[in-house]
Chain A
Amino acid sequence: MSIDNPPTIEVDQPEEPTNRPAADHRLKEWLSRGYVRRIIALSIVIGLLIIPLAWVVIHFMNLSGAPASAIMVEIERTMFVFTVVSAPLMAITLAILFYSLTGWGRVTGEDPPMQESPAIRTNGTAVVLWIAATSILAGFLVIWGLVELATITSYANGSTPANQQPNGQKAIDINVTGQQWVWTFQYPDQGAVTSDTLIVPINVPLYFNVTSKDVVHDFWVVELGIKIDANPGAITNTGVTPDKLGTFNIRCAELCGLHHAYMQTKIQVVTQAEFDAWVREMGGKRTV
């Protein structure tokens, strides 16, 4: 059956709603309609096109070396999962959108069209299904989000599960000061060594105390997936355990005036031995 010749016989035979055909019968009839089938097919095609986006997104995020911590892994997993689970609804929406451009016919010209479309005022089934689907989706996203947030918070606080924390070390405290337009890192436990690049050992939990001496800055360690505002007059905290050797980016993510764009530095994740050597060298130079 196609849209061009819908069944017209029923128009003249009003029945009591109680005589409506059984639900499964109506569903079958509905599914046999040409436009329904085409929209379903279109949804599947669009869905299949959207899902690869999940990889594309992660690919862009990984270009500069991410993920370099368990937190970043969780972030990327969340992006991936969110893309995949919302793909069906997106696909259906877009399928209906594209299909309706011409699928049920269209009218051009200067004058208001005379022939009118079916007077569908509402449809209980569609409304209930849609609300159920969006609620379930939103519910899933919320629950996933809450769990993930708890997870990354515990990672940030250095209380990672033992298997992720090889030596069960104590976290290294680092005091981060933002100031127009430089970052300063101070290691209180390492004899108050100060540096303007962040040098840290791999697989050791780091715990940051962050503040600012002037305006609001934002301490963003890009490939490690942590970010926290540096506020004047307050100390904020975050933490991470780097698990990849290399040099990564620290950028200021809050407009802080003239040279905000240049308020960047690097974080070098090195081995414990290299880190100790660096501390010794720095400590020799400027012990406080």
Chain B
Amino acid sequence: MTDTAVVHQTHDVPQPKQHGKPGGILRHTSIVTGTALGLVAAIVTYAIGSHFFVPWGTTNADASQVGLNALVAATYFAWVIFFMIGIGAFAGPIRWALGHDLTHDDAEYMAGKDQGKWRYWKYTTDHKVVGTQYLIMAMFLLGLGGLLAMLIRTELGITWAEVFDPNFYNSLIGTHGIVMIIALIIVVTGPFGNFILPIMIGARDMAFPRLNALSFWLLFAAIPPLASNLFLGGIRDGWTVYQPLASQAPIGMIGYQVTIIVFAFSTGVASVNLITTSVTMRARGMTWNRVPIFVIGVIASSVMGLVWFPMFQYSQMLALSDKVIATSFYNPIMGGSVWLYENLFWLLGHPEVYVVVIPGTAALMELMVVFLRKPLFSYKVAIAGFAGVVGISSIVWVHHMYMTGWAPSAGYPFMLSTELISIPFGFLVLVMLGTLWRGKPWTRLPMMCVYAVIWDKVVGGITGVYLSDVPVDQYMHGSMFVVAHFHYMLMGAGLFAAIGATAYWFPKMTGRMLDERLGSIGFWVAFFGFQLTFGSMFVAGLQGMPRRVLQFDNAFNISNWLSTVGAYTIGIGMLIFLYAVITSWRSGKPSGSNPWGGKTLEWQTETPVPLENFPVLPVVTSDPYGYGVPDPYDAVLEADKQPAGVA
């Protein structure tokens, strides 16, 4: 597939004036300066603020509480802003405004040239560094969320006593939920969208390398406000933080709001970057019908994130404003509306589940062809499926609000749109089944994840069909049935796909094979634990157990015991998998550059991938799915459709 392409050699290009040594101020900044400056700024803000903070415009609310809220919010924002200053994020805009444009040497320094491992701790623009950072971050968040999940299940498994204080239990649920949601939003597009996608399309880097670093470090800066909530009273209101309950919450809630506001910028920036890269930076010859399907999936997911994330962001800005300047968007006594919150929240909240599921699905499509050595079945149907899901996903949010009484007759159109979305979603299933059809699977871990995920999607899909129906939802809404359903989609289809993608691209990212035996043991233990956990949670839901409760009727005991046993099984499986990842990363079997025999471009370049990815830019002459032999049954029809051989 590779051919020589003309590349402009940058040393011939007239360079702007070099200001100082290459890299400028960024030579001196790193996570250390960032953290230091951020902490100092936060402490100073808090100290000064607690003396002088004048609550602004508070004629109706309890002024001291508002003042405290404002102080905490200011402290968090001081941390975020000064962390970003300290790590050098503002150097770019300032240089741009002054006209001190980057030279090629500056750019190479910023991409981490010759800085060894230290580049992972700096504002490094190389997409491979950012991808690796995202992978670690996602694993960290999943670990944190998983730990909280174990605590939740412990409480629910010990049916005869209250293990935790109810307030603490409620914050466990809320923190677990939002941590997992953030983790799953980044878990595929972060590591693989950044590390693999540019190589896959034959680019030297992302379209906006500095935005790439920005997106990761914003995410990084957003984590401490979130994590600190557990010490400041917690997020007691579930990950949806419905109003006005959230306005009763202690100051930990401000951490949630700050995190979402910052994280939304991070996702927005990342989406702009991923879309622009995929659209404008493809190698020569990579026309739209030759683009690997993973790229399409990432575009689809980024479009949804880009378009809808601001809704969530603004919902939280207004919530924060209710807290710090005593506005009343969500305070019904003063004219606010809970339905306003719910609408803004779910306008993102629903597309969000597709943001999670689609890139994972696309990654599995990408890898299953390699393990089946068959072309992807109906590439066009797959694209239509992604496009359909993206299109319809924006007009289904009200299915989360069937029971709010907001607009009872909205149930009719939204039931329609919700059930219609199962048609394009069905396209994706068809593509996967068609690709499996008559293939001989090479049963390595990535491929086995495909089987696991399809199973989970069938379960999640069918229960989703129940829930999309208003009469049925009238029974199921707010029950454990819903929790089980969305775990099948988010964890069963999203996380397990991410595990498949990790196993598949691990060799490219680390140069080593993921330990097949340990990895598989971990995965399958987790998979069966998962079925037990959430299978029995369905039963609890059917019996009428509400969600987000820590005590319940004895009728629900048995299913909860089983569920807890299952949860510990997942925990054990995940620990084994984590162990496999860590040991393989350090001392796994070297993989060579193309251990799976894949045809996409990322496998055609060496491992470890050189700084600018390709010595010469590739030219693409066919799509990457030219596997397979003529079908003996109907060679007649297929013979002339064979793509030209690829290198």
Contact = CB atoms under 8 A, between A and B. Distances in A.
Interface of A: 3, 6-8, 10-11, 13-15, 17, 20, 33, 35, 57, 60-61, 63-64, 71-72, 74-75, 78-79, 82-83, 86, 90, 93-94, 96-97, 100-101, 104-109, 112-113, 115-123, 126-127, 130-131, 134-135, 138, 141-142, 144-146, 148-149, 152-153, 210, 214-216, 218, 220, 222-223, 225-229, 231-234, 236-238, 249, 251-262
B504 to A, nearest CB: 13
Contacts, number: 317
Interface of B: 166-167, 170, 173, 236-238, 242-245, 248, 332-333, 336-339, 370, 372-375, 377-381, 403-405, 408, 411-412, 415-416, 419-420, 422-423, 426-427, 429-430, 433-434, 436-443, 451, 454-455, 458, 462, 465-466, 468-472, 474-475, 477-479, 539, 542-544, 546-553, 555, 595-597, 625-642
Contacts of A63: 543, 555
Given A6-B632, A14-B640, A231-B404, 13 more contacts: A8-B632, A64-B543, A106-B440, A117-B372, A118-B374, A119-B627, A123-B378, A134-B423, A146-B415, A228-B405, A233-B333, A234-B339, A260-B548
Contacts of A144: 469
A67 B337 CA distance: 35
Given A17-B636, A64-B555, A94 B455 contact: yes
Contacts of A60: 539, 542-543
B238, B472, B633 pick with most chain A CB within 10 angstroms: B633
A120 B374 contact: yes
Contacts of B454: 93, 97
A220 to B, nearest CB: 7
A257 B542 contact: no
Contacts of A253: 403, 477-479, 546-547
A118 B634 CA distance: 10
B474 A227 contact: yes
26 contacts: A10-B636, A82-B469, A82-B472, A96-B433, A96-B436, A112-B370, A112-B373, A113-B373, A119-B630, A120-B434, A120-B638, A126-B430, A141-B465, A142-B420, A149-B471, A215-B245, A222-B475, A231-B332, A232-B332, A252-B546, A253-B477, A255-B173, A256-B245, A257-B245, A258-B236, A260-B548
A258 B633 contact: no
Contacts of B596: 112
Given A74-B471, A97-B451, A231-B404, A123 B434 contact: yes
B262 to A, nearest CB: 25
B546 A119 contact: no
Contact of A93 (B423, B458, B478): B458
Given A134-B422, A216-B338, A229 B636 contact: no
A24 to B, nearest CB: 16
Given A106-B442, A218-B403, A251-B544, A75 B474 contact: yes
A236 B342 CA distance: 16
Given A215-B245, A255-B548, A145 B470 contact: yes
Contacts of A262: 551
A145 B475 CA distance: 14
Contacts of B629: 115-119
B550 to A, nearest CB: 5
